[in-house]
Amino acid sequence: MSSNRSSFTGKIGFVLAAAGSAVGLGNIWRFPYLAAKYGGGIFLLVYIALSLTFGFSLMVAEIAIGRKTQLSPMGAFRALDKRFAFVGVLGAIVPSIILPYYSVIGGWVMKYAYGFITGDAFNMAQDSYFGGFIGQTWEPLVWFALFIGITAIIVLFGVEKGIEKVSKVMMPVLVVLILFIAIFTLCTVDGALDGLIYYIKPDFSKFSIMTVVAAMGQLFYSMSLAMGIMITFGSYMKKDISIEKSTKQIEIFDTGIAFLAGLMIIPAVYAFSGGDPEALGKGPSLMFGALPKIFANMPAGTVIGVVFFVMVFLAALTSSISLMETVVSTIQDKFGIGRKASCFIVLGISIAFGVPSSLGYSAWGGVKILGLQILDFFDFASNNILMPIVAFLTCIFVGYILKPKAITDEVELEGNRLKHKKTFNIMIKYVAPLCILIILISSVLDVFGIVKI
Ligand code: PFF
């Protein structure tokens, strides 16, 4: 994998490719429901603070590790220190857990796009529609199969470049559309302004350790951190491109879209439910319940609904491709098998885990793992347990084994200067590992019901 490494041309190539992986369902579907659930403004504040300090340092470290070694995550850790090779392997397990349930949600998005195209907009705006849809056994499974199938075909034939090009044109359109929907809601829906306040004004009484746990898990997820993706991207990055600047651009892009998605969904949910905490804490179904209602009240709402869901589908697809690509290439590297075989193995694993995630809302509705629905369990296990472990080990590795200087030297190649060197050192060596440890312990205690936080 290390030989013949292609690299991104131009400065913007790297940022766009990394942003294509980063921007996806995490921003549009996951961020708004977490922000709504964990107190609105306070979640937003914690998220932004973490992104500027912690997310920044970790992303710089990962990209620099990749560029320094020119290797895939597993190879990179192994090359730098044999004892840490397992971190690369652990990192590769994360996307294999995410991909199956990500594709279940991707299937829901396809269903909604299809529904708007076939003129089902009125029905979809009804309260019971979404529950009725995921409560069926077969239909969600078919959409899931379609989504994962399309992802696999693209990865198998290696045509992701084409898709990425399409999505890069779509991305700005998506931003404009989200902004338009948000402004429309704020101007026309009664009570939406109260919802806006809920979303942007921090209410410190709503703060708890779980706010930080959720915000940090979301940060990893949204920025595709702690799973080797950024190491892979870094390995393709040219030496004369500024890691610091690129990281900032990716962060602004990723966080900006998440913020706008929250702006589009939270005030609407707040208004429709009169600020009912139960509606706000609804979780994974939040976006699917709220958006069709907004579209129903909008002039040309059906057309906008079609365009919106098709674009979200594309954003999800570029992310699922990069998830699958990582797992496929790791299996190829590790077991020395061909791309095709590896692709089929990953498809098999995804179906094996995706089917239960989907059935968790219907036939297997009674099954709970650690008190969580099956899909929520996979989400929790990857975001709140495995990713913090990988991030913690990465910090320890960079802070104490490799030493931050190795990273800052890499960042400062070709006359680039790392402006926030001090922050970086302190974050990586002390603040980040300590915070992650506290967070990891709290989420384990919480889920096992030892302490309710
Ligand atoms: N960052 C993506 C999102 O926010 O939707 C999810 C993701 C994609 C995570 C690719 C990891 C990854 F490798």
How many whole angstroms from 87 Cα to the centroid of ligand 1?
Answer: 19
Helices (H) and strands (E) in the chain, counts: 24, 0
Q: Convert the pLDDT of each residue in 10-22 to its tens digit.
A: 567 778 778 888 8
User: Which residue's CA lies nearest to atom 13 of ligand 1?
Assistant: 323
Cβ < 6 Å from ligand 1: which residues? 21-22, 24-27, 95, 98, 221-222, 224, 227, 229, 319, 322-323, 326
- pLDDT-based confidence at residue 1 (cuts at 50, 70, 90): very low
**For residue 329, what pLDDT is reported?**
83
Query: How far is it, in rounded angstroms, from Cα 68 to Cα 408?
Result: 11
Query: How far is it, in rounded angstroms, from Cα 284 to Cα 289?
Result: 10
How many whole angstroms from 380 Cα to the centroid of ligand 1?
Answer: 15
Closest-CA residue to 93 (of 403, 381, 423, 402): 381
Across 158-169, average pLDDT: 72
Q: Convert the pLDDT of each residue in 407-450 to its tens digit.
A: 999 999 978 888 888 989 999 999 999 989 988 888 788 777 76
How many whole angstroms from 21 Cα to the centroid of ligand 1?
Answer: 6
How many whole angstroms from 281 Cα to the centroid of ligand 1?
Answer: 23
Contacts of 215 (CB under 8 A, 6+ apart): 34, 38, 43, 46, 47, 50
Residue 34 Cα distances to 26, 39, 447, angstroms: 10, 9, 17
Strand partners, 441: none
Model-level pTM greater than 0.75? yes
Among 72, 96, 98, the mutation site with the greatest number of ligand 1 atoms within 8 A of its Cβ is 98
Residue 283 Cα distances to 29, 124, 148, 149, 309, angstroms: 10, 18, 23, 26, 19
Query: How far is it, in rounded angstroms, from Cα 300 to Cα 279?
Result: 27
237: left (phi over 0), alpha (psi -120 to 50) or beta: beta
Average pLDDT, the chain: 90
Among 59, 322, 390, the mutation site with the greatest number of ligand 1 atoms within 8 A of its Cβ is 322
User: Which residue's CA lies nearest to atom 8 of ligand 1?
Assistant: 319
How many whole angstroms from 157 Cα to the centroid of ligand 1?
Answer: 21
**For residue 305, what pLDDT is reported?**
92
Among 108-122, 155-169, 229-243, 298-312, where is mean pLDDT lowest? 155-169
278 versus 170: which is more confidently predicted?
A: 278
**For residue 3, what pLDDT is reported?**
43
**For residue 451, what pLDDT is reported?**
57
Residue 40, SS3 per DSSP: coil
